């Protein structure tokens, strides 16, 4: 465990040293959130309720979903690809630690830094706009659990996508694709309840909803306590499934690399 | 005039070399096409979902928004394909790659602009053209020859304005002297705002992101003018002026920046 803590620290320092990348990424996401905020505002100007959402709820949703979406979202595809192309990946694989666990702790360290920044920023804006009237202690605790679970799902997905980099040089494309996929199907942009007909049914069977939609609904109070617990359980199942898939495909991907020299 | 002709010939010569470098990664080409189609599909899906719940945003219908989107995407693709080098300025300055350019008897601006090519741009332009086509078909526009010409001119101007924005943001690296410069990324991300009518934002945002960074003239006024919405004509008439100002600013920034440039010796 101690060796992984070293990676945790390493990730944290990494995040602090290269904070510019994180801030840029967050800013881009934040612009999107602001744009959506005003789009919704103008929409609710005409129509009071859309698929069960009112402007009061939407005001919370936009910022809470931004919080869920921006933490842990940097991804390590680019990093992994660079290491694969350069051959450095072999150093990671040779070490007496599990490659995935190492990545996880590094990411966790970085996420710690990101979380602090985003939390203060979003929390501040949220309180400015909504005040404390909707906050509920029990729900907030459940929300934090769901948020952590969501980060687990996010990590499993990132790992799966980073394995693709063993087969292609286009890491930017891979990470962009993952980002788009997650943004769209997790409910980061539009609440999943607003998806039209069959698509709404379909997204319920995808892992992405656990990343943003589940924590958001718990926080806003769309789920009853029973539903909350069921959904958190569902997130857990997805982590197991995606984790298992990662182990399987990881074995395959590692066998592809061939290195010259060293 | 002769100098201009020479630069055009050189431009194509440089780009030809860039295309050759792309052949190195043939497999990725297909992947890139799939990824671009996919991510643009998702962005459009977002608009579709919003509109499946409501009839209009800020008085604009879905197909009108499509036109806004088309203008933005086309200009983005145009830069990616023809002048992707604008993105590489920071790295060039940091790595002192600029030294190589300065020794050649060719304008540095041209060499920087052609430092890279990105085929994703072509893909984006095709998608944007299709979107514009569909949008035009679905919106009831009273076409005249003049309007047709205006449409093409506006599209061209959108490309120029956006190129200048990125160029100026990238060239700030001459003053910042750091390894990376996120300004250009920030500027392009702001395009997200221009996908929806400017009128929905509060005045402060409009001022900063519509006029100071002139996104209003990239998509909002031109499309509004073509759709004959109220109060758009004056804004649209200003576009060529904005275009000129931006181009002049871009030229100045490069000139001033180069004067400041001091290579890290190798």
Tell me if A169 sits within 8 A of B28, measured CB to CB.
Answer: yes
Taking an 8 Å Cβ-Cβ cutoff, which residues of chain B contact chain A?
Answer: 25, 27-28, 31-32, 35, 38-39, 42-43, 45-46, 49-50, 52-58, 180, 182, 185-186, 189-190, 192-193, 195-196, 200-202, 205
Residues of B in contact with A183 (CB under 8 A): 42
Assigned domain for A61 exists:
yes
Q: Which of B25, B27, B200 sits opposite A39 (nearest CB)?
A: B200
Distance from CA of B182 to the nearest CA of A (A): 6
Compute the average pLDDT of residues B67-81: 91
A193 touches chain B (CB under 8 A): no
- CA-based nearest residue to A191, from A173, A170, A215: A215
Only one residue has tokens 């145009």, namely B78
- CA-based nearest residue to B58, from A48, A55, A46: A46
Distance from CA of A111 to the nearest CA of B (A): 20
CB contact under 8 A, A170 and B28: yes
**pLDDT at residue A7, as a whole number:** 86
**pLDDT at residue A260, as a whole number:** 57
- d(C-alpha A253, C-alpha B91), whole Å: 32
Q: Which residues, in sequence order, are bridge partners of residue B60?
A: B57
Residues 6+ apart with CB under 8 A from B198: B206, B210, B215, B216, B220
Assigned domain for A223 exists:
yes
How far is CA B142 from each of CA A132, A256, B145, rounded to the nearest angstrom? 52, 59, 10
**pLDDT at residue A262, as a whole number:** 44
Assigned domain for A259 exists:
no
What are the φ/ψ torsions at residue A76 (nearest 5 degrees)?
Answer: -125, 20
A189 touches chain B (CB under 8 A): yes
- N- to C-terminal Cα distance for chain B? 38
DSSP string, A130-153: HTTTT--HHHHHHHHHHHHHHHHH
- d(C-alpha A214, C-alpha A64), whole Å: 11
Assigned domain for A41 exists:
yes
Q: Which of B54, B193, B195 sits opposite A46 (nearest CB)?
A: B54
**For residue B261, what are its two tokens?**
């440039």
A177 touches chain B (CB under 8 A): yes
- Which range of residues forms the domain containing residue A213? 2-254
- Asked if this assembly's ipTM is beyond 0.85, the reply is no
Higher pLDDT, A77 or B223: B223
DSSP string, B126-140: HHHHHHHHHHHHHS-
Higher pLDDT, B29 or A218: A218
DSSP state of A172: H
Assigned domain for A261 exists:
no
CB contact under 8 A, A31 and B201: no
> CA A255: distance to chain centroid?
28
Residues 6+ apart with CB under 8 A from A190: B46, B49, B50
CB contact under 8 A, A21 and B200: no
**For residue A60, what are its two tokens?**
């919370």
- Per-residue pLDDT at B266 exceeds 60: no
DSSP string, B190-207: GGGGGGS-GGGS-HHHII
Q: Which of B25, B35, B195 sits opposite A169 (nearest CB)?
A: B25
**pLDDT at residue A258, as a whole number:** 67
A35 touches chain B (CB under 8 A): yes
Of these ranges, A16-25, B181-190, B236-245, the one predicted with the greatest mean pLDDT is B236-245
Rounded percentage of chain B residues whose pLDDT exceeds 70: 96
- d(C-alpha A18, C-alpha A23), whole Å: 9
**For residue A8, what are its two tokens?**
């945790």
Residues of A in contact with B182 (CB under 8 A): 20-21, 23-24, 27
Assigned domain for A53 exists:
yes
Inter-chain contacts counted by CB atoms under 8 A, chains A and B:
91
User: Can you list the pairs that A82-89 forms with residues at least 24 positions away whose Cβ atoms lie under 8 Å?
Assistant: A82/A171, A84/A165, A84/A166, A84/A257, A85/A169, A87/A259, A87/A260, A87/A261, A87/A262, A89/A257
**pLDDT at residue A94, as a whole number:** 82
Nearest CA in chain B to A175: B35
How far is CA A85 from each of CA A89, A246, B43, B82, B83, rounded to the nearest angstrom? 8, 21, 31, 28, 27
Tell me if B53 sits within 8 A of A51, measured CB to CB.
Answer: yes
- d(C-alpha B42, C-alpha B195), whole Å: 14
A184 touches chain B (CB under 8 A): yes
- N- to C-terminal Cα distance for chain A? 29
Q: Which of B35, B46, B193 sits opposite A176 (nearest CB)?
A: B35
Instruction: Pick from A18, A22, A24, A49 the residue to mutate for testing the B interface (most B CBs within 10 Å).
Output: A24
Number of domains composing chain A: 1
- d(C-alpha B136, C-alpha A101), whole Å: 52
**B59: region left, alpha or beta (phi > 0 left; psi from -120 to 50 alpha):** left
Q: pLDDT tens across B77-114, in order?
A: 999 888 888 888 887 887 777 888 888 888 888 888 88
Question: What does the pLDDT profile of chain A (262 residues) look like in tens digits?
Answer: 788 888 888 888 887 877 777 777 777 778 888 888 888 888 888 778 887 788 888 888 888 888 888 877 767 777 787 788 777 788 888 888 888 888 888 888 888 887 888 888 888 888 888 777 777 788 888 888 998 899 889 889 988 988 888 877 777 778 888 888 888 888 888 888 888 878 888 888 888 888 999 998 888 888 888 888 898 999 999 999 999 999 999 888 888 776 655 4
């Amino acid at each position: 465990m101690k060796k992984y803590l070293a990676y945790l620290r390493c990730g944290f320092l990494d995040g602090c040293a290269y904070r510019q990348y994180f801030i840029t990424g967050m800013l881009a996401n934040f612009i999107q959130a602001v744009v959506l905020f005003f789009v919704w505002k103008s929409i609710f100007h005409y129509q009071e309720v859309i698929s069960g959402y009112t402007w009061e709820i939407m005001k919370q949703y936009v910022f809470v979903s931004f919080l869920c979406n921006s933490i842990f979202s940097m991804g390590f595809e680019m990093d992994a690809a660079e290491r694969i192309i350069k051959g450095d990946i072999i150093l990671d694989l040779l070490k007496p630690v599990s490659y995935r666990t190492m990545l996880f702790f590094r990411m966790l360290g970085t996420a710690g830094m990101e979380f602090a920044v985003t939390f203060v920023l979003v929390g501040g804006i949220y309180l400015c706009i909504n005040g404390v009237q909707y906050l509920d202690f029990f729900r907030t605790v459940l929300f934090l659990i769901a948020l952590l679970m969501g980060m687990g799902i996010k990590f499993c997905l990132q790992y799966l996508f980073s394995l693709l980099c063993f087969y292609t040089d286009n890491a930017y494309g891979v990470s962009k694709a993952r980002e788009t996929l997650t943004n769209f199907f997790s409910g980061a942009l539009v609440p999943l309840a607003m998806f039209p007909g069959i698509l709404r049914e379909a997204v319920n069977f995808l892992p992405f909803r656990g990343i943003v939609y589940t924590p958001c609904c718990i926080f806003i109070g769309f789920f009853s306590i029973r539903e909350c617990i069921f959904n958190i359980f569902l997130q857990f199942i997805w982590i197991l499934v995606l984790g298992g898939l990662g182990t399987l495909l990881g074995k395959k991907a590692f066998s592809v690399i061939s290195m010259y020299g060293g | 005039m002769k100098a201009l002709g020479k630069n055009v010939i050189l431009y194509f010569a440089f780009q030809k070399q860039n295309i050759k470098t792309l052949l190195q990664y043939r497999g990725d080409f297909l992947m890139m096409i799939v990824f671009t189609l996919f991510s643009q599909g998702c962005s459009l899906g977002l608009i579709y979902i919003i509109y499946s719940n409501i009839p209009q945003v800020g008085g604009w219908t879905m197909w009108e928004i499509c036109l806004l989107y088309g203008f933005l995407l086309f200009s983005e693709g145009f830069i990616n394909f023809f002048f992707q080098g604008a993105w590489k300025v920071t790295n060039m300055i940091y790595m002192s790659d600029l030294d190589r350019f300065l020794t050649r008897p060719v304008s540095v601006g041209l060499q920087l602009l052609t430092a890279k090519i990105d085929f994703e741009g072509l893909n984006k332009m095709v998608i944007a053209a299709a979107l514009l086509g569909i949008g035009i078909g679905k919106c009831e526009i009273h076409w005249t020859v003049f309007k047709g010409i205006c449409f093409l001119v506006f599209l061209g101007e959108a490309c120029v304005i956006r190129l200048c924005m990125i160029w100026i943001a990238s060239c700030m690296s001459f003053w910042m002297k750091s390894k990376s410069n996120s300004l250009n990324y920030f500027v392009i991300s702001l395009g997200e705002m221009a996908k929806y009518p400017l009128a929905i934002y509060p005045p402060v945002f409009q001022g900063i992101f519509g006029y100071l960074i002139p996104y209003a003239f990239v998509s909002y006024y031109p499309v509004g003018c073509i759709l004959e919405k109220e109060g758009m004509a004056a804004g649209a008439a200003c576009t060529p002026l904005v275009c000129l100002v931006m181009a002049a600013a871009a030229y100045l920034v490069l000139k001033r920046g180069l004067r400041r440039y001091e290579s890290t010796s190798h």
